[in-house]
Chains A and B, each alone.
Chain A
Amino acid sequence: MTQKTSLIEPDARTRRRNAAEKRFRAYGAVAIAIGLGFLVILLTTIIVNGRGAFQQTFLSVPVYLDPAKLDKKGDRNPEDIAKVSTFGYGPLIQAALLEQVRGLNIDTPLTDAKDMKALISASAAAEVRDVVMADASLIGRTVTFNLLASSRVDGYLKDRVSRVGVERDKNIDAVHLDLVDKLRDAGVVARSFNLSFITGADASESRPEQAGMGVAILGSLAMMAVVLVLSLPIGVAASIYLEEFAPKNRWTDLIEVNISNLAAVPSIVFGILGLAAFIQFAHLPQSAPLVGGLVLTLMTLPTIIISTRASLKSVPPSIRDAALGVGASKMQAVFHHVLPLAMPGILTGTIIGLAQALGETAPLLLIGMVGYVATNYPDGIGSAFLDPNSAMPAQIFEWAKRADPAYYERAWGGIIILLVVLLSVNLIAILLRRRFERRW
């Protein structure tokens, strides 16, 4: 008679099996923990490094808008006022700041108005000029401006610029930093939220404090519009034809293999193709979001086709049978029943493709969308697509390779904006999916 095994005491085999399962679960948990750890490191690094870009240092200065300098004739004629360039405004601002320093009884060895130049952004003169141009009646009055501080001052307040570092810096000296300390205590120098980082245009290498992502965001949006308008209909139409209508033979097999391979082609290859086909052959404008969008469309199409075909395949054949069984034509079966059911999958694929395209930099290098191009807002719809522009990742790349460390901070800040845009795109995708999703 064999001995009955106890159900309470597991036997050796069961113990081994349970131990193996426990180990496997532990591996899984560890894998997820590692992944989460990296995500946390990534996000904290980005936020810690990029946070500064959203804060900027401003100088609150009452500027006397001297009529003797700004409107010599005294008749407030806009044409005459326009003749005074930013060089006319610079000394006024510097004198105003020096006046304020004296008024506050701050002890500083800096006594010349020109010494104040190091504190003020080069863009401040243009800022004041724009205000005066808009309202000539301000001339002759004292107006308090919130002027951008120079990037060195900004960096000093953000601990990027140190007293040791400025010893070899031609732009600013330790005495300036002493003055900044005192002005900060007096409330003249302060940091505040920097909206123009999100809405502004790129600036030259020497004015990082002025640079913003706004124009590059518009460039990216224009490209995404081109990508969406072209790749969604073309991709979906191609997938429906291949999946539902095309005969299954050697040619369609060949096409299928090629589409799968295209999805794996490095994006820079699409860039040089775009350069050759759209710019050199078709003579479309260089650096234009239209061309960028066309190149990214080429890149996105395989992704959309593959995911659309997969979601068409996943619609149960019984639905097609049901439609054909009541006398629907093939096209009616596809458009009335199969396509709506495949819609969530198609949308997901499209959004993934768009997100990829949004973050793509390499092909833009080759069609001239990387570099100092994003200086002005487009004038209108046409100009948004045809005038030279950059894109968010290209702008980030451009800032990261500039020498001034102030631009390094901007690059991180740009990445935050890029991620926020990507997350909002994904959020839209999730909401759309919810809308289209049907239960069986």
Chain B
Amino acid sequence: MLDSSHNVIKIAAKNVQVWYGDTHAIKDVSVELEDRTVTAFIGPSGCGKSTFLRCLNRMNDTIEICRIEGDIHLDGQDIYDRRVDPVQLRARVGMVFQKPNPFPKSIYDNVAYGPRIHGLARTRAELDDIVEQALRQAALWGEVKDRLQAPGTGLSGGQQQRLCIARAIATQPEVLLMDEPCSALDPIATGQVEELISGLAKDFSVVIVTHSMQQAARVSQKTAFFHLGNLVEYGETGTIFTNPVDKRTESYITGRIG
């Protein structure tokens, strides 16, 4: 069942170039990301993996000096087409950030915010359902079900990050982008979030940027290695880690660059 859905291309990027002012941050990246798959972006700091991730839901639009060329297609549609409303796009391509950033509101309101603004629930009961589902999927329900009206900012770091994940999946996106979601978490919380990511891949395609190669190896099926703005190598995670084609990938994985 899982295997049959593999190889369906969810996001296809072709010849993507990104400039920040005069800095050429992404150089001619072409990649095809599969549906219901966890894809990891790895690479040394400043290699452009986060920048590329932010291109996928047009979060870079908010940076004034950022300029993007090339094509990125979601289900065959160009997301940089003039007629595309980035707000609508972001409802389908959700994002979880490096630092947990819950709204300074209650846990319930944090999760309910997306469904509310997108009108996903017609009644209070439906909204309650969506919130519960999202929190269950984010493996947070058991810990917070008795204090949904408590402030989301009062949770621990790991819980906050899972709350942010719940908030992202409550809008029922098709793709979930995660920008180093575990970098601010301790090992236990990291383990919980990783477990969660594996579970999420049943419903979404997940793209995760990570600094930890072990994490990439643990959670992803596909891995892309970025270096100095280039996509150096992209393939099955197992292949990348055991039998990389490119010298630079090998150097990075064995710890000689990075």
Contacts and interface: CB of A to CB of B under 8 A. Distances in A.
Nearest to B85: A329
A102 interface: no
A233 interface: no
* Interface residue tally on A, bucketed by range: 20 to 34
B97 A322 contact: yes
B157 interface: no
Contacts of B101: 316, 318-319, 321-322
Contact of A326 (B64, B151, B153, B168): B168
B123 to A, nearest CB: 21
B167 interface: yes
B87 A327 contact: yes
Interface string B111-126: 0011001100000000
Contacts of B167: 322, 326
B90 A325 contact: yes
A322 B113 CA distance: 11
Given A248-B64, A439-B153, A327 B117 contact: yes
Contacts of A320: 62
A321 B153 CA distance: 16
Interface residues of B, number: 29
Interface in B231-254: none
Interface in B75-125: 87-88, 90-92, 94-97, 99, 101-104, 113-114, 117-118
A204 interface: no
B102 A322 contact: yes
B114 A324 contact: no
Contacts of A74: none
Contacts of A327: 87-88, 90-92, 94, 114, 117-118, 171
A383 interface: no
B43 to A, nearest CB: 22
B164 interface: yes
B64 A329 contact: no
Contacts of B170: 326
A332 interface: yes
A147 B117 CA distance: 69
A337 interface: yes
Contacts of A326: 90-91, 94, 113-114, 117, 167-168, 170-171
Contacts of A438: 104, 151
Interface of B: 57, 59, 62, 64, 87-88, 90-92, 94-97, 99, 101-104, 113-114, 117-118, 151, 153, 164, 167-168, 170-171
Interface of A: 247-248, 316, 318-329, 332, 336-337, 341, 438-440
Given A326-B94, A328-B114, A440-B104, 13 more contacts: A319-B101, A319-B104, A321-B97, A322-B103, A325-B59, A326-B113, A326-B114, A326-B170, A327-B117, A327-B118, A328-B117, A332-B117, A440-B153
25 contacts: A316-B101, A320-B62, A321-B101, A322-B102, A322-B103, A322-B164, A324-B62, A324-B90, A325-B57, A325-B95, A326-B114, A326-B117, A326-B167, A326-B170, A327-B87, A327-B114, A327-B117, A328-B114, A332-B117, A336-B117, A337-B103, A438-B104, A438-B151, A439-B104, A440-B153
